[in-house]
Amino acid sequence: MKGGIFKDRSHAGEELAAALMKYAHGADVIVLGLPRGGVPVAFEVARRLHAPLDVLVVRKIGVLGHEELAMGAIASGGVTVIHHEVMRGMDIPRSAFDAEAAVQLKELHRRELAYRGRMAAPEVGEKTVILVDDGIATGSTIRAAVQALRQQHPRRIVIAVPVAAPDACAELEPMVDELVALMQPEGFLAVGQWYEDFSQTQDEDVAQLLASAALLERTEAPL
């Protein structure tokens, strides 16, 4: 990694895996990538830790006109998170939440079907979940992911990213059991500035990586 820049997401995943080796071969470990960009990173982490890979699809339920403000979120596994304090503070009726949740639920289902077909979302109860993204800017999406995961009662939640804004890390760290960010640079503007190649990850790429990870897992499974 020259000058603090990752070549691409796969390279970032290789570097990140090296910082997570204490979780290698853990019987209860599962790696969840946040689609789309987090999945190529998570693939390399899962491959090197010899852990299963899946995705956690999260859709924020945003407040109209306030893109970064969420009144809740929905996630894989039928999880709904409602931020009652935001709704009360902005006098948002439950009907507005339900209407936006219905829109986002359609997109969540579309993505899940594109990524894993008819396969069910993974069970994470009593597991060590390593939640991977390609970086953290505001932290709003990964915060929603953590809140959704908490409702499924994992043993541990670990956030793992190649690069993150320091203030976002400070907010997220108390919410999880461990936060691993290889770089927390001052002057952070956007995740993409820390990658030579930050080209968009497509739905097809996510599905292919999940299929490859599943094949690797079957190949390595003991007879």
Q: What is the pLDDT of residues 157-214, one digit of tens each?
A: 999 999 999 999 999 999 999 999 999 999 888 999 999 999 999 999 999 999 999 8
pLDDT at 222: 44
pLDDT tens profile 182-193: 999 998 889 999
Going from N- to C-terminal start, the domains of the chain cover: 1-164+179-223
Closest CA to 130 of 37, 51, 201: 51
135-155 average pLDDT score = 90
Is the predicted pLDDT of residue 77 greater than 60, yes or no? yes
pLDDT tens profile 106-144: 999 999 999 988 787 888 999 999 999 999 988 888 988
CA dihedral for 142, 144, 146, 148, sign (positive or negative): negative
Pick the CATH number of 1-164+179-223 from 3.40.50.800, 3.30.1440.10, 3.40.50.2020, 2.40.50.1070: 3.40.50.2020
- Percentage, residues of the chain above pLDDT 70: 96
CA distance 12 to 43: 11
pLDDT at 49: 97
Please, what is the average pLDDT of the chain?
Answer: 91
Of the pLDDT bands very low, low, confident and very high (cuts 50, 70, 90), residue 223 is very low
Report the amino acid identity of residue 148. Answer: A
CA distance 1 to 171: 27
